[in-house]
Amino acid sequence: MTTKKTTNDAETCLAQGLLKVLSGKWKPEIFRLAAEAPLRFSSLLRQIQGSNKQTLSVALKELDEAGLLEKVVVKQKPLHIEYHLTKKGKSLVPVLKQLEAMS
């Protein structure tokens, strides 16, 4: 016998998935900042106290691989890279806000 998932079950599952993807050093803060505006690597280094290039690079790569962030080369002088939330990432912002409200 199968049971129908309720909306609450779906929200719980989505929240658990989000927590799994965002676990790790600096990922929640990167995601929060990316939800506000596109990010540049140097800006992230300044904004996230205690971060370093290596851990920040790893976190950005993992968020990119999870499909939450995309790396965009901006072809302006000087050439630079920005990180944007993907459509999938944007869809998770309300879930993250609900989690923040619960704390």
- Residue 43 lies in domain: 25-102
Whether the pTM exceeds 0.75: the reply is yes
> CA of 52: how far to CAs of 71, 79, 101, in Å?
19, 22, 29
As given in the structure block, the two tokens for residue 55 are 């851990």
**Could you tell me if residue 7 is inside a domain?**
no
Please write the tens of the pLDDT for every residue from 67-92. 999 999 999 888 899 999 999 999 88
Q: What is the CATH number of the domain that holds 44?
A: 1.10.10.10
**Could you tell me if residue 18 is inside a domain?**
no
Orientation of helix 27-36 relative to helix 87-102, angle to 10°: 110
Please write the tens of the pLDDT for every residue from 19-70. 777 788 889 899 989 999 999 999 999 999 999 999 999 999 999 999 999 9
Q: How far is 9 from 39, CA to CA, in rounded Å?
A: 33
**Could you tell me if residue 47 is inside a domain?**
yes
**Could you tell me if residue 32 is inside a domain?**
yes
